[in-house]
Amino acid sequence: MQRLLAVTGLALALTAGLARAEEPSQALFAAARLACAYSQGMNAVFTPQGRVSLKPPLDPNTPGLTIAIVDRAKNRAVLEEDDLETPGVLMATPSSLSVMARYPDGGVTVVTVYPVHSGASDNFLMVSSRHGVGNEPQMSQRYGFCRPGVETPPPPPPPPPAPKGHS
């Protein structure tokens, strides 16, 4: 009997551990929006001689981005950065959720969010890589955190028109 209780206790502990391990991925893959913030990063540019020059680290206070999952069945998402909304392709695997977006200038950004919590928080680990174009190709890689975002409620309906009285 003691052996049965020990095996049952071990099975319950393993099941609880697996459930906790699955919780981050369930929350990540169920989210309709992810609000992301950068904690650090680096910019790089090619020199005229073809070398890569690293610029000073990015300011960690750089505004972040939001990932809006538009249509999971069609793998569509939108990267929202300030007032810029860029459609992208959603790619989800058991190990990550990524969005790849191409900007009108030809630049590309890939954002990958991992179903791994940062320490004791409920923030997911995130990396964003941008490959910009222009006179000189520019690259940046930023690291940070994402958390499920709250959908913005629609604005309230306008009040009904006031009844017109007779004067």
**What does DSSP say about strands 52-54 and 76-81: parallel, antiparallel, or unpaired?**
unpaired
Residue 33: the pLDDT is 94
Residue 12: the pLDDT is 37
pLDDT digits (tens, 9 = 90+) for 98-138: 999 999 888 999 999 999 887 888 899 999 999 988 777 88
pTM of model > 0.85? no
Confidence of residue 166 (pLDDT cuts 50, 70, 90): low
- Ordered by start, the domain boundaries in the chain are 2-148
% of the chain at pLDDT higher than 70: 79
Confidence of residue 18 (pLDDT cuts 50, 70, 90): very low
Cα separations (Å) of 126 from 3, 33, 55, 110, 144?
44, 14, 21, 11, 5
